[in-house]
Amino acid sequence: MNEKGLEIFETIEAFKGYFRIIKYRLRHQLFAGGWSREITREVFERGHAAALLPYDPVLDTVVLIEQFRIGAHVAGHDPWLIEIVAGIIEEGESPEDVVRRETMEEAGCKVSDIIHISTYLPSAGGTSETVSLFCGRVNAADVGGIHGCDDEDEDIRVMALPFAKALAMTESGEIANSAALISLQWLALNRDRLRQEWR
Protein fold of 49-198: Nucleoside Triphosphate Pyrophosphohydrolase (3.90.79)
pLDDT (0 to 100) of residue 1:
41
pLDDT (0 to 100) of residue 3:
56
SS3 content of the chain, % helix, strand, coil (to 5): 25, 40, 35
Instruction: Answer for the pair 26, 38: CB distance below 8 angstroms, yes or no.
Output: yes
Please report, for the chain, the start and end positions of each structural domain, with discontinuous segments joined by +. Answer: 6-45, 49-198
Residue type (1 letter), 153: D
Catalytic residues, by residue number, are 152
pTM over 0.85: yes
pLDDT in tens, 73-126: 999 999 999 999 999 999 999 999 999 999 999 999 999 999 999 999 999 999
| Mean pLDDT computed over 10-39 | 95
Looking at the predicted structure, is the pLDDT value of residue 130 above 60? yes
Among residues 18, 141, 138, 133, the alpha carbon closest in space to that of 83 is found at 133
pLDDT (0 to 100) of residue 60:
97
Q: What number of other Cβ atoms are within 10 A of residue 33's Cβ?
A: 6
